[in-house]
Structure 1
Amino acid sequence: MLIAHAMGAPRTVVVSLGPKSVTTPIAMGISQNLGGQPSLTAVFVMMTGMFGTLVCTGVFRLARVKDWRAQGLAAGTAAHGLATSRMLLLNQTAGAFGGLAIGLNGIVTSVVVPVLVSVFGL
């Protein structure tokens, strides 16, 4: 959000970027409440999920993250449902922790993004 704001993106785009790492319904609701465009937010959410799903296992390998719990939490937090389903295919523990991360990230994001928008005047 801050990078988009610094680059001169319109407010609706900046606000629409904020909730991109949660599930689509939660992200669209947050975006709409803050004056963003829910449809644009949905696109950002899908792009985040697809990119995260494609790169997560490679990143874990490069970073030498072997703990399935950590992999699931990271994938669920960063790339929500798509990456969590990928983790579930690889390991049940990773999938379970990915699901937990999705829920917790939804709660935290719904509180933190509005605070960031008001604090930074976005």
Structure 2
Amino acid sequence: MNSLLLAWDAVVAHPLFLIGLTLGVYQLGLTLYERTRMAVLHPLIVSIVVLIGVLLLLGMDYPTYLAAMAPLSLLLAPATVALAVPLYHNLRRIRQFFWPVTISLLVGGTFATGGTILLAWLLGSDFSMLMTLAPKSLTAPIAMMVAEQLGGVAAMAAAFVMYTAVLGALLGPWLLKVGGVTHPAARGMALGLTAHAVGTALALDEGKEAGAFAALAMSLMGIVTALLLPVCVTLWLLL
């Protein structure tokens, strides 16, 4: 009996088992989403819920799981760069909407970041928490870097990014429908600005044009915020 338990523990702790588990859970979520098209069953949401439950049942801590996921984590950067493909194919279309894109980026980005900081400040958050929350609308790698640079907590910033993504996946399409937003470019910009990678994935499901504008919004939001947010915070501290 002891030998069986030891063998089971060895299998469960092996990186290949955990990678296979992660991919299997994601495939389950993808299948459910493709059959129902319900935002609540988005693969990311299903994967998070099921994986947390399975890891708790297995008694596995997060650092062990994170270390096993290193090969998959390495693919995050190439996957992000691959978003340039729909951008390239819709470059002419994007040029036609230069000013609407620029205005949407400035207004949406300012509201997403400034509104978050203001609300957190009104609720009594300290400076570290404010800087952790500030980059919540950026994709995780950029958000963690910006938060750490500003004096926030990178790990918590990643958690807030994930929460924002899940909330965007749940409410974004519904809010756009209620608001009567039907243009692919507008829907893509909104999803990319507010829900970054997950919003871009949702936009890509709606069509290539929506996906291209979502990728553009997510990329520009990350670049502009990473450049301007530290400057704004520095000026704020000097006042």
TM-score range, shorter chain: over 0.9
Amino acid at match of 2:142: I
The separation in 2 between residues aligned to 1:59 and 1:27, in whole angstroms, is 25
The TM-score normalised by the length of structure 2 is 0.49
Residues matched between the structures, number:
122
Q: Within 5 Å, which residues of 2 pair with 1:103-118?
A: 103-118=219-234
SS at match of 1:121: helix
Alpha-carbon RMSD:
1.4
- 2:177 corresponds in structure 1 to 61
Match 2:155 to one of 39, 43, 64: 39
Structure 1 unaligned segments of length 5 or more: list them.
none
Q: Which has the higher helix share?
A: 2
Amino acid at match of 1:41: A
Matched, 1:21 2:118: no
The separation in 2 between residues aligned to 1:60 and 1:96, in whole angstroms, is 17
Amino acid at match of 2:143: A
The separation in 2 between residues aligned to 1:43 and 1:58, in whole angstroms, is 23
The separation in 2 between residues aligned to 1:48 and 1:113, in whole angstroms, is 19
> Where do 4+ consecutive residues of structure 1 move more than 6 Å?
none
SS at match of 2:237: coil
| % identical equivalent positions | 38
Which protein, 1 or 2, shows the higher relative CO under an 8 Å CA cutoff with sep ≥ 6? Answer: 1
Which shows bigger deviation, 84-93 or 109-118? 109-118
Matched, 1:76 2:192: yes
Amino acid at match of 1:38: A
Instruction: Using the TM superposition, give the Cα deviation of residue 89 of structure 1 relative to its aligned residue in structure 2, in angstroms.
Output: 0.9
CA deviations 1:39-75 (Å, max 9, x no partner) are: 0100110000110111111111111111001100110
